[in-house]
Amino acid sequence: MVTRCYLCGGKTELKTVTAENWWGEKLILVENVPAWVCQDCGEQYFDAGVCQQLDQLRQSPPATRRTVRVPVYSFPAKSPAASGNSEE
Q: By rule CB under 5 A, what count of residues binds Zn ion?
A: 8
Please, which of residues 20-39 interact with Zn ion by CB under 5 A? Answer: 38
Angle at 81 between CA 27 and CA 41, to 5 degrees: 55
Question: Exactly one of 2, 10, 17, 21 binds Zn ion (CB under 5 A); which one?
Answer: 10
The SS3 call for residue 50 is helix
CB 2, CB 8: distance < 8 Å: no
Query: Which CB, 41 or 51, lies closer to Zn ion?
Result: 41
Question: If binding is defined by CB under 5 A, does position 8 make contact with Zn ion?
Answer: yes
Q: Can you give the binding site for Zn ion, defined by CB under 5 A?
A: 5, 7-8, 10, 38, 40-41, 43
